[in-house]
Amino acid sequence: MIALIQGSQWLLQIPETWRTLSIQFAISATVFGLILLRDLLRKGGSRPPLGGILLGITFDLLPWLLLSWAGQRLAAGVVPVALCSVPLLLALDSQSSFLRNFSIAGIAGMVLAASSALELRADQWARLLALGAAIALLAFSLAYARRLLVSGVPLAPLLFVEHATAAAAFWLFSLRLPSPHLAAAPPLAALLISALAVNTAAAWLTWWLLAQRDAVRVAALVWPQMVVTLSLSAFLLRQQPGWLMFAGAALMLVSFLALWRQDGKETLIFRVTPAS
């Protein structure tokens, strides 16, 4: 579901401007706020998690700013390859060579699939640094959100604070700065669909999975998402995908399935010794 929603959102053709992003996050924050209000009326009050403010900045605002600026001059395949490296960045902190090896395989799959659109030049180092900073922020945010959720922070309050923070931040930027993407205002229906599907449903499912599984496996959802995007673009735009794209997509799917077949739980070993 997450891969299908996020991998097909480009079909709505919504320009990512300060104002459109603010509206989308405001809509999702309203939905999560209503869920939070319902829970408060049923169970009693609890303080909103302040960690959501940090996530609104490090997971929503700053990565978008850095990716938007870096992606303006980099080749089309560089940003997707960088996004596919988030699981590896998280796996570097793990003691599991299994996680690291399949994280590398997932990146290799994206490199194969996007090989025709990869080009790096020496004068792009500043944008590559910005891209690296965005990837580091996304990895940090997933690890931090995982820690919050495991500690018992409920989903609705966390997502409400995060998305309300992001909505306010993007709205403030829209008042002070010109948008990096100049485009006509999209239809309100498309904005509503995107907000409810991507910012609400996919975000809820992602954070729910993050409460159940480690951050590396949840970050690996970007691989099937890329496969969905590549498949839809090839089919709808009537492109002729080469064998490298097929091989890369297959490698990303195999790597994702291999990671998710492992339950991510510690194995307990019981040793039976004869009684003395």
Selection from 5, 51, 63, 4 nearest residue 195 by Cα: 5
| pLDDT confidence of residue 271 | 43
| 57-115: pLDDT as tens digits | 999 999 999 999 998 888 888 999 999 999 999 998 877 888 899 999 999 999 999 88
Of 175 and 198, the one with more pLDDT: 198
Q: For 4-31, what is each residue's pLDDT tens digit?
A: 999 999 888 888 888 899 999 999 999 9
The conformation of residue 10, written as its DSSP 8-state character, comes to G
Supply φ then ψ for residue 47, to 5 degrees: -70, 135
pLDDT at 268: 32
- What tokens were used for 7? 């991998």
Least confident residue range of 42-46, 181-185, 269-273 = 269-273
pLDDT by residue (tens digit) across 201-245? 999 999 999 999 999 999 999 999 999 999 998 888 777 778 899
pLDDT (0 to 100) of residue 46: 66
Give the torsion through C-alpha atoms of 108, 114, 119, 124, to 10 deg.
Answer: -80
Which among 228, 174, 153, 189 has a CA at the least distance from the CA of 21?
A: 174
Q: Please give the average per-residue pLDDT across 40-45, as a whole number.
A: 76
